[in-house]
Structure 1
Amino acid sequence: MPSGLFALLDDISALVKASAASLDDIPTQIAKTTGKVSGIVIDDTAVTPKYVVGLDPSRELSIIFQIAKKSLLNKLLILSPAALLLGYFAPWAITPILMVGGAYLCFEGYEKVHSMFSKSHEVDPESEDVKVITPEELEKQRVASAVRTDIILSAEIMAIAYSQVAGAPITNQILVMLAVAIFITVGVYGFVGLIVKMDDIGVHFAKGDYSPTVQSIGRGMVKFMPKFLLILGYVGTAAMLWVGAEIIAHGIPFTAHLLHELEHALANVPAVAWLAKVLACGIFGLVVGFIIEKIVGVVKKVIPNKG
């Protein structure tokens, strides 16, 4: 009897130690997962500031908070459970869903690149009916548009997050998914809030009762922010193409093998290997985006908009 009790206690102790070791892996898994979604995070950060451009500066932080709140709720209540359920009942669907999202990112990236070099989007204001809306309606439209874009990017983030912990115990999966959802949302929208208010901070320093050095820094911030936002837009577009193409490439054995061979060939120079992979993915993303844009164009001609 005592030996049986000791055996049971040994089993419980081993189980506790195994559980503790498993939980110790969570910070590492969170860090690894966050690194994997960094490209989409950059894109999310770069895209969001445009939704408050032209609106009342006093409403900027409120608008960002609204977007962030809906983004977090989508991740916690819809996207994370959906990823966990798919992973349990239909794990084969994860990669195709990721690839569809990657194709969308390539399409969006290509559209942005195309618009940079095309003047065909210029519209004669006299030839278009202009609908007048109130600032409140414009704010609602901006928030709704931002949430639509965010849910695509968030879906990619949570799907990639799940793919990194698919083989872990269910407790680890849930904790990592929740932690990534909260950390990414707070990080992205906290930084976006800082970006959109940076010019106001600069004005405060420039006009306040500060030393000439601080005032000069404030004026420099005000002058620099438009250039920074422009650069951020370019970085976001590049990240869209890079991340979208890499997701698609890893879902196709042939292109996944090519990427692996490229990285292996330049393994002795990690920085060059990373740059080569990014450039290859960027070009591949443009090609994918171009093909999708042509398909969308054909579909629109075949199924004209009757609205």
Structure 2
Amino acid sequence: MASGLLALFDDIAVIMDDVAAATKMATKKTSAVLADDLAVNAQKASGFASERELPIIWAIAKGSFVNKLIILPSIFLLSYFAPYLITPILLIGGVYLSYEGAEKVVEFLFYRNKSRKENRKEMSEKEKIRSAIITDFILSLEIIVIALSTVRDKPFEVQVATVTVIALIATVGVYGLVAFIVRMDDMGLALIARYRGFLQKLGLFMVLSLPYIIKGLSVIGTIAMLAVGGGIFAHNVEYIHHLAEKLPPFIGEIGIGLVIGLLALALLKPVKMVFRSNGQE
């Protein structure tokens, strides 16, 4: 009995060691997309009234958690029964991210005179949350597929544990940092009110720097969507992969994402016009 328990604990310890090593490797592979995920979601969660920021982040985080509950078993089933479907699903997600990124570029270049307030009135709070959850779904899918690809040679239980840990990091870690960023001004004001010296100066810096951080994240989030969208095509379509190899790595993926996004915009614009005209009628 005792020897059986010791053998069981020994097996668990070996599996945990394998999971720790595999998670470290998978985290390195997914770090770029995790960083993009942070930038995109911080952008999506910013710009709301102060009292609504945390409830909205919580709503998006809950949606992200549901996304993981859908994606994890689906990807394991697909990778076992129909691995050929994973790439087309990723490419569809790449088109969506490229479309969103290209749309923001076009709005910046040609519709800057339109006020931000008017732009924000076009979408309700629920619509913005839904848009953020859809974007999170695609980024989460990319992260989980990359993580799984790094541990395909490991036993099934190690694959499940490793990819699940990465999925949790992509939810808890990312949205914890997003909450910290959007509430940084409140934390800064608390430091200013309660302390003197270095901590007071740190609080002042947090308050003054937040608007610039939010603006920076808006730009970084747009670039990240284009880079991830273009990267999906560069890594999964042979012709585009060879084309990307001739270009600087990061710049090439952004360019590919922008071209794909602009093509998607051009194709969807007539469809949108038809729906709007039918709605008016």
- State TM-score, norm by structure 1: 0.76
The aligned residue for residue 232 of structure 1 is: 217
Distance 1:152 1:120, change over 3 A: same
Structure 2 residue aligned with 1:54, among 48, 57, 74? Answer: 48
Aligned equivalent of 1:152: 138
| Aligned residue number for residue 265 of structure 1 | none
Q: CA deviation at 1:22?
A: 6.1
Change (3 A) 1:258 1:287: closer
Task: Tell me, in whole angstroms, the C-alpha distance in 2 between the residues paired with 1:203 and 1:294.
Answer: 46
Structure 1 stretches of 4+ moved >4 Å: 16-23, 123-126, 138-142, 258-262, 301-305
State the one-letter code of the partner of 1:288.
I
Contact 2:46 2:214 in 1 (8 A): no
C-alpha distance in 1 between matches for 2:251 and 2:100:
17
Taking the aligned partners of 1:124 and 1:74, their CA distance within structure 2 comes to 30
Alignment match, 2:4: none
| TM value normalised by structure 2 | 0.82
Contact 2:230/2:253 (CA < 8 Å) preserved in 1?
Answer: yes
What residue identity is the alignment partner of 2:88? P
Aligned-partner Cα distance in 1 for 2:51–2:117:
29
Residue 213 of structure 1, CA deviation = 4.1
Q: 1:242 aligns with which of 198, 203, 227?
A: 227
Match of 2:110 in 1: 118
For 1:144 and 1:286, the matched residues in 2 are separated by 23
- Determine whether 1:192 maps to 2:186: no
**Higher alpha-carbon Rg:** 1
With 214-223 and 92-101 compared, the bigger mean Cα shift is at 214-223
Residue 69 of structure 1 pairs with residue 41 of structure 2:
no
CA drift of 1:300 comes to: 3.3
1:31 aligns with 2:24: yes
Q: Distance in 1 between matches of 2:116 and 2:207?
A: 32
Tell me the SS of whatever aligns to 1:306. Answer: helix
- Is the 2:39–2:224 contact (alpha carbons within 8 Å) kept by the matching residues of 1? no
2:254 aligned with 1:282: yes
Aligned to 1:42: 35
Written as runs of structure 1 = structure 2, the 5 A alignment for 1:202-213 is 202-206=188-192, 208-213=193-198
Secondary structure of the structure 2 residue equivalent to 1:37? helix
Please list every run of 5 or more consecutive structure 2 residues that lacks an aligned counterpart in the other structure: 1-6
CA RMSD of aligned residues (A): 3.3
Give the whole-Å Cα distance in 2 for the aligned partners of 1:73 and 1:253. Answer: 33
Aligned length: 271
CA distance in 2, matches of 1:85, 1:125: 44
Structure 1 runs not aligned, ≥5 long: 1-12, 263-275
Q: Aligned partners of 2:125, 2:269: CA distance in 1, in Å?
A: 30
Structure 1 residue 143 corresponds to structure 2 residue 129: yes
In the alignment, the residues of structure 2 paired with residue 142 and residue 104 of structure 1 have an alpha-carbon distance, to the nearest angstrom, of: 15
Q: CA deviation at 1:103?
A: 1.8
Q: 1:104 to 1:20 in 2, by over 3 A?
A: same
Counterpart of 1:53 in 2: which secondary structure? coil
Q: CA 1:203 to 1:253, structure 2 compared with 1: closer, same or farther past 3 Å? A: same
Alignment partners' CA distance in 2, 1:59 and 1:300 = 30
Distance 1:214 1:107 in 2: 43
Change (3 A) 1:122 1:83: same
The structure-2 alpha-carbon separation of the partners of 1:299 and 1:63, relative to structure 1 and needing over 3 Å to count, comes to closer
- Matched position secondary structure for 1:166: coil
Query: 1:74: Cα distance to partner?
Result: 2.2
**Which of the residues 151, 154, 164 maps onto 1:178?**
164
Shift of 1:254: 2.7
- Conserved in 1, the CA contact under 8 Å of 2:45 and 2:178? no
- The answer as to 2:268 corresponding to 1:296 is yes
Q: Is the 8 A contact 1:246 1:281 kept in 2?
A: yes
For residues 254 and 37 of structure 1, do their structure 2 counterparts lie closer, same or farther at Cα, with a shift above 3 Å needed? same
Distance 1:40 1:121 in 2: 33
Letter aligned with residue 231 of structure 2: E
Which residue of structure 2 aligns with residue 97 of structure 1? 89
Letter in 2 for 1:95: T
Kept after mapping to 2: 8 A contact 1:37/1:160: yes
Q: 1:60 to 1:169 in 2, by over 3 A?
A: same
